[in-house]
Structure formats: C-alpha cells, structure tokens
Amino acid sequence: MRFGTALAVIAFEIACLGIVGLWFAVSQAREPGRLALQAAAVAIAAWIAEDTCIHFYGVYAYDPSWGCFLDRVPVTVVCIWPAVILSDRALLQALRPRRASPFLVGALVLADAALIEPVSVAASLWSWSEPGLFGVPPVAVFGWGLFGALAAGVLELADRRGRAWLLLLPLAVPLGLHAGVCAAWWILLRWISLPVPGGPAAGVAWIVSSALVVLVVARGVGRRVPLWLALSRAPPGLLFLGLLAAHGRGRPDLVAWALAFTPPHLAILLGRRLPGRPETQDDPSSGA
C-alpha cells in the first residue's frame, strides 16, 4: 500500500470519522432537527457527484487501501463531505448573520481543497492523471468550490422555502457540477492544466495568507465567530498537519504551501481575546 500499513489506513479513517462525529454531535446540539437532514442530503449529493465524475471522466481515483467503498468512493469520504460544506457555511453565517452567500461558501470550500488536495495526493490517498500544482490539476479545486457553492445555494433555498427543497440537492447539485466542470474544462481549465512549481506557489500562498491575517485582525473577525465554531476547525487541521509531517519529508515547497493556511485560522481563534468594540446584538457570538 502506498499510503502505508493497513493499520495506518484504519487509524486515519477512524480519526476522520471521529472528527466528523464530534462535529455532528456539537452542531446537532446547537441546531436540533435540521442538521441531520441537511447532512444526509449533502452526503448523497456528494456520493453521486464523485462517483459519476470518476466513471465519466476517469481523471482521478482513490487508492484501494481505503477500507470500505460505495462503488468508487470511500464511505469515509461520503461522511466527510457534509462536515466540510456545513461547517464552512456555518462559519460564514457567523460572519454574515443575514445570509451566507453561496459564492462565498464555494470560495471557502475551494480554499479547503487547496490544502487538502496536495497533502492527500502526497499521502497517496488518491491520485490525478492530469498535471498541476503538487500533482493536483486546477479542475480538482474548482470542482470542490463549485460543489460547495451549488450545495450552499440549495441549502439556502431550503432555509427560506422549506425543508422539502432539500430533496432537490442530490439531483440538482451533481447535474450542476457536471455542467459547470465540463464548461470550465473546455473553456479554460484544459489549457492551464500544467505542472506548476511549488516554491513560487508557496510564496504566493504566504502573501495571501498574510493579507488575510491583516484583514481578520483589522475587522475583528475573531470576535464574531463563536468559540465552538472556531475550535471545530482545529481537529481536521491538525489531522492534515499530521499527514503533512508523515508525507512531506523532502518536500519543503509542499510544507511551506500547507503551513500558509494556518495563520488565518489562528488569527480568528486568537482574535477572540483581542480588545475591541463591544459585541452587538447582531453578533452571533454574543448569544443574542
């Protein structure tokens, strides 16, 4: 097994499922009755989307060392998708109580993909046949972001018009994903799927990361994010930093790239202790 021993694979999947279970338990306690339906709809949509993408396009595949599969997709991955989408949406809703734009949710999911994809490919959890940054083609992170935006759009529709609209998610989101990915591929992505040097990319990542830290501190973002929500992003981050430590040896460019995603999250968490203006009633972390 390229990823390591069978025990290592089992331990990784147990860790993933444990993190998802903890997130679900905490989130369900805060939003009883709604989260389970949303998570189920996202999980079904994610499985349909990924499985059909693997069958139709054949540009990526999961390593067979994963424990249990639903056709071509590991069960663990299906369970992870709701946590990714719903936690990113919750974070943006904390920052924008009135409405979390599906576009912004998609952008945040895309940022998650920019960290998860290179580390996972380095760990041989899955692989791509198209070239790109650290073996990850642009269509990979674009697909993550598009799926996140489409799912968030249907979730918002269900919030406004009723839970029955969640039934639309497993059908509409995969269809929209295929349409968007095909259009983006033929218009742009096929022309920029090229090997990208990791060093310069890591430098750009640190510039963007530093700018985000300044923005987070200047706008007091940390004071608007509930502590439980800020902390909920720590376990998956630590898990992938562990993967990076195990599989990033001899890859200083990959290590520098991955570590660039840490400062904005730390700024949000530490920003809760920075002095600033009092919380307002519209601030979700104030308990209003």
Contact 92, 101 (CB under 8 A): yes
Q: pTM of the prediction?
A: 0.90
Contact 198, 254 (CB under 8 A): yes
pLDDT number for residue 38: 94
Amino acid residing at 47: W
Report, as an integer, the average pLDDT of 113-140: 95
Nearest to 274 by CA among 232, 213, 229: 213
In which residue are the tokens 């799927």 written? 193
End-to-end C-alpha distance for the chain, whole angstroms: 51
User: Does residue 102 lie in a domain region?
Assistant: yes
How far, CA to CA in Å, does 135 sit from each of 34, 93, 125? 38, 33, 12
How far, CA to CA in Å, does 142 sit from each of 9, 129, 256? 27, 16, 22
Nearest to 28 by CA among 77, 90, 93, 117: 90
The structural domain count of the chain equals 1
pLDDT number for residue 95: 82
Using pLDDT thresholds of 50, 70 and 90, give the confidence band for residue 6: low
Residue 211 is encoded by which pair of tokens? 């700018």
How far, CA to CA in Å, does 264 sit from each of 203, 212, 216, 254? 16, 6, 7, 18
User: Does residue 79 lie in a domain region?
Assistant: yes
Using pLDDT thresholds of 50, 70 and 90, give the confidence band for residue 288: very low
Q: Which residue has the higher pLDDT, 25 or 283?
A: 25
Report, as an integer, the average pLDDT of 154-159: 92
Contact 115, 145 (CB under 8 A): no
- Three-state DSSP class for 282? coil
Q: Which domain holds residue 246?
A: 6-286
pLDDT number for residue 7: 76
Instruction: Give the rounded percent of residues in the chain with a pLDDT score beyond 70.
Output: 90
User: Does residue 240 lie in a domain region?
Assistant: yes
Contact 137, 189 (CB under 8 A): yes
- Three-state DSSP class for 73? strand
Give the separation between CA 85 and CA 108, rounded to whole angstroms: 9
> Tens digits of per-residue pLDDT, 50-83?
999 999 999 999 999 898 999 999 999 999 999 9
User: Does residue 93 lie in a domain region?
Assistant: yes
Instruction: Give the rounded percent of residues in the chain with a pLDDT score beyond 90.
Output: 68
- Calculate the CA 195 to chain-centre distance: 23
Give the separation between CA 54 and CA 60, rounded to whole angstroms: 6
* Mean pLDDT, the chain, integer: 89
pLDDT number for residue 273: 56
User: Does residue 12 lie in a domain region?
Assistant: yes
Give the separation between CA 262 and CA 87, rounded to whole angstroms: 17
Report, as an integer, the average pLDDT of 207-226: 92
User: Does residue 1 lie in a domain region?
Assistant: no
Give the separation between CA 166 and CA 80, rounded to whole angstroms: 18
